[in-house]
Structure 1
Amino acid sequence: MPRCVLAYSGGLDTSVILGWLVDQGFEPHAVYVDLGQPCEDRDAILQKARDTGAATARLVDAQARLCRDFAFPVLQWQARYEGVYLLGTSIARPLISEVCLEVAREVGARGYAHGATGKGNDQCRFQLAAEALDPTVEVIAPWRDETFRQQFPGRSEMIEYCQRKGIAVKATVAQPYSSDENCLHISYEAGQLEDLSINGVELVEFGMTDSPQDAPDCIETVTIGFESGIPQTINGQPQAPDALVRELNTIGGRNGIGRIDMVENRFVGMKSRGVYEAPGMTILYEAHRLLEQLTLDRDLAHMRDALAPQVAELVYYGFWFSAKFDALLAFIREAQKHVTGEVTLNLYKGNMMVVRRSSPNSLYDEGVATMEGGGSYNQTDAEGFLRIQGLPGRVQGRVVPRGS
């Protein structure tokens, strides 16, 4: 009997796939990678896997790895896919593959199964990461198997299968949208959300955030401390990476921070709609950006900003374990060495407003920046600067006069 590991979440897709793998004669080993998913009973999920036919079912706690080794480097890049999405799902997938292959080596499995569809991005992220880490791995993607698709042409058939097998799942025929959760965010997609005429924010039952309308009528102030671009403290108290994100999720969530509804371009070519909530990471992105305004010089900041969309694409498409991404990670570690300090924000009904920012490495010089008389900036120096900057324009203007 061939052995495989299954990246198991306990959701609809992987619950069905686990039963299907057993039906196909596999010896599946379910791996629940604990990424700090809220709203989930982990013991019940593992027991459900065993009841469904998993040879073993285990939980691997990777919360700290997710934040420290994956989310925070992307935060340093200020990487947002298509300028909006903070990549909470994309970041998690290569880590899930990494953990599953560690378990595969332990149990002697050559196969690695996942529940990503043949239409989505996750199939790319899972497979590209797995094959980069182990070129001999056999990736099992049931959604790309025609017999599987014939048996399960839609979510309704999957729900019916689970009902016949006695497998408990969140989704129902009446409301078949799916969710993916970790400590960085929750994403919602499919089902009724595919209809763009529906208000996604009203449809979704959010697990992390209160609506801005229902948030408190008073401002909450929070101070984030960074060292070399990595968040370390909340209100002066040191926190482990995952604990820090979870606390900011609580703080941001009760203040209605971090909800988006977007239509994005998938790697496979189609457009899809996603509703996301990421309260903690939204706060961190804003605080980090404000601290960089003090600590990064202009040219380095602009270079980072020019490269950030490429970084976001590499993460979104699934090329975390690649030579290009390795080089970009090395670049950002060097670029962020002096991004140390504190930023204080006011949070109010979905909004973030800066109160103060400070850094021992601040490049802001009030004596240079002042618009008052005196100071350490000699305005006469601007004359030569502008003569040099304007030279190409003056030469071109003589050769090809404008307005003539």
Structure 2
Amino acid sequence: MIVKREWIAMKKLRSVTDLEFVCDHVDHVVTLFSGGLDSTYLLKLLSERGVEVTAVAVDLGDEPDIPALHRVASTFGAHLRVVDLKHTFAREAALPAIRAQARYLHNFPISASLSRPFMAQAAVDIAESLGCGAIFHTATQSQNSLRRINGAIEQLGYGGFYGSPHEYTSVSRSEKIRALKAAGLASFEQRIVSGDSNLWCREFESGVIENPEGFVIPESLFTWSRPDAERQTDIPGHKFSITFQAGVPVAVNDGSMEPVPLINHLNRIVGAYGIGRFTGLEHLQGGEKVLEVREAPAAQALMDAYRHLETAVHSYELIREKAALEQLWVREAVEGRWFGTLRDAIDHFILRTSQEVSGRVCYDVSGGQLNVESIQAGCPLYLKERDQWESQKAASSSARSLVDMSSSEQPSAPVPEQLALGA
């Protein structure tokens, strides 16, 4: 058991009791606020303790309902700050994730591992600018966001209290829903899962999909990857292409786009064919596993296209070494060490390898799958005419063989007399 003096030195809060202590000693706090069940319940807890609250909502491209966020925040007397980081997130998280082939155990695209550092950065910046003595969030021990948010706040050097009161204090979803309903917010009764989203990925856990041994995924959870014949008309002939320049996706078909609209566009057109759904287990810090469901059509298409192009332009040895480092990059992100030296160093290596990755990959999606139709790289190592290459290779090898035979048949040059005598 950590005594109070040591706990204060660590400045990490973990329970509702810790929350009460902090609120007695600071007059202004920041809390991360998504408008979901957990973050709204935290606003209720804080409102009952008479502390000034700034609720920070971070827009990562998931189109938050800002008027609704304002209504909920005002219900509990909190000041709402909305921070638009979608372009920063696309540039500094999604693009590196494409280059690093950032899939958890090669299975599904990582998402919260990418978003949490940017949310923590926004919270720290605002807390420091307002002189707030604490940063709260709502991650629990069954959510890996706990160590990702805490880890990012630690790495950013924030000097106040920080953490989640629900790390050591467990409150069930039903209890939170009842408490918020009593406060006049009944809409949370309709929430059947916990969700998290950004422009890169939408993911779900808990609730009706909690038990890996028996679950049914409601179709209503999906937005991007719901088959839609009307949206399929956005791809003429069910074919599209993705173009990269120096490792950056710059166009879909002939339409040049910046990263945010490009990712949004691919989510729309690729997802219309039911492409981009993932289900898998993710480990907790103690080794236990939890089930997660995701949809990420753009991520699937962009990482697939990038891998084809980098394979086309780089040597086997380079690809092999990069592939080994990719999962190390993912591990550092997953374990909450986004701002650490190791991930940064690997990122620089991967960025260097991306400079030669230019070209276009064309797909046919008529069968509901990403079927590659062509790979057109800028400086490729692949063969386009194998028979012609075989003939040239055979002729070249034969010529070298004749030269070698001719050289071996030449008489040895006479040895000068003085050398022969050892003079």
Paired residue for 1:182? 198
How is 1:58-77 mapped onto 2 (pairs within 5 angstroms)? 58-77=81-100
On the 8 A contact 2:383/2:389 being kept in 1, the answer is: no
> CA-to-partner distance for each residue in 1:162-203, whole Å, 9 max, x for gaps?
10111354454xx63111111111111001211234444346
On the 8 A contact 1:192/1:198 being kept in 2, the answer is: no
Q: Distance in 1 between matches of 2:372 and 2:176?
A: 48
> CA-to-partner distance for each residue in 1:205-243, whole Å, 9 max, x for gaps?
212211499996995211111122111111122212111
Paired residue for 1:52? 76
Paired residue for 1:27? 52
Aligned match for 1:108, one of 107, 126, 131 = 131
How is 1:256-271 mapped onto 2 (pairs within 5 angstroms)? 256-271=274-289
Alignment partner of 1:209 is 2:209: no
Q: 1:205 to 1:349 in 2, by over 3 A?
A: farther
Q: CA deviation at 1:319?
A: 0.9
Deviates more, 1:197-206 or 1:253-262: 197-206
Question: What is the DSSP-based 3-state SS (H/G/I as helix, E as strand, rest coil) of the residue aligned with 1:342?
Answer: strand
Q: 1:333 to 1:93 in 2, by over 3 A?
A: same
On the 8 A contact 2:329/2:347 being kept in 1, the answer is: no
Q: 1:180 to 1:43 in 2, by over 3 A?
A: same
Q: CA deviation at 1:301?
A: 0.6
Q: 1:372 to 1:116 in 2, by over 3 A?
A: same
Alignment partner of 1:364 is 2:362: no
Alignment partner of 1:193 is 2:209: yes
Q: 1:372 to 1:159 in 2, by over 3 A?
A: same
On the 8 A contact 2:60/2:84 being kept in 1, the answer is: yes
Aligned residues: 373
Alignment partner of 1:8 is 2:33: yes
- Give the residue type in structure 2 aligned to 1:333: L
| TM-score of the superposed pair, with normalisation by structure 1 | 0.86
Q: Which entry has the higher C-alpha Rg, 1 or 2? A: 2
> CA-to-partner distance for each residue in 1:26-69, whole Å, 9 max, x for gaps?
3210111001114x422211221122221x10211111111110
Q: CA deviation at 1:274?
A: 0.5
Q: Distance in 1 between matches of 2:187 and 2:324?
A: 43
- Give the residue type in structure 2 aligned to 1:374: S
- Give the residue type in structure 1 aligned to 2:96: P
Paired residue for 1:321? 339
On the 8 A contact 1:131/1:137 being kept in 2, the answer is: no
Q: Distance in 2 between matches of 1:127 and 1:57?
A: 22
Aligned match for 1:275, one of 268, 293, 310 = 293
Alignment partner of 1:163 is 2:188: no
Question: What is the DSSP-based 3-state SS (H/G/I as helix, E as strand, rest coil) of the residue aligned with 2:108?
Answer: coil
Paired residue for 2:5? none
| TM-score of the superposed pair, with normalisation by structure 2 | 0.82
Q: Distance in 1 between matches of 2:282 and 2:220?
A: 18
Question: What is the DSSP-based 3-state SS (H/G/I as helix, E as strand, rest coil) of the residue aligned with 1:180?
Answer: strand
Question: What is the DSSP-based 3-state SS (H/G/I as helix, E as strand, rest coil) of the residue aligned with 1:201?
Answer: coil
Q: CA deviation at 1:339?
A: 0.4
Q: 1:268 to 1:246 in 2, by over 3 A?
A: farther
Q: Distance in 2 between matches of 1:209 and 1:112?
A: 35
- Give the residue type in structure 1 aligned to 2:292: G
Q: Distance in 1 between matches of 2:65 and 2:304?
A: 32
On the 8 A contact 1:345/1:356 being kept in 2, the answer is: yes
Q: 1:212 to 1:107 in 2, by over 3 A?
A: same
Aligned match for 1:134, one of 128, 133, 157 = 157
On the 8 A contact 1:200/1:275 being kept in 2, the answer is: no
Question: What is the DSSP-based 3-state SS (H/G/I as helix, E as strand, rest coil) of the residue aligned with 2:166?
Answer: helix
- Give the residue type in structure 2 aligned to 1:309: Q
- Give the residue type in structure 1 aligned to 2:49: Q
Root-mean-square deviation (Å): 2.5
- Give the residue type in structure 2 aligned to 1:68: R
Q: Distance in 2 between matches of 1:356 and 1:2?
A: 61
Deviates more, 1:2-11 or 1:213-222: 213-222
Alignment partner of 1:374 is 2:368: no
Q: 1:254 to 1:215 in 2, by over 3 A?
A: same
Q: Distance in 2 between matches of 1:228 and 1:72?
A: 12
Q: 1:321 to 1:137 in 2, by over 3 A?
A: farther
Deviates more, 1:216-225 or 1:57-66: 216-225
Question: What is the DSSP-based 3-state SS (H/G/I as helix, E as strand, rest coil) of the residue aligned with 1:142?
Answer: coil
Q: Distance in 2 between matches of 1:100 and 1:107?
A: 11
Q: Distance in 1 between matches of 2:211 and 2:247?
A: 39
Q: Distance in 2 between matches of 1:15 and 1:349?
A: 43
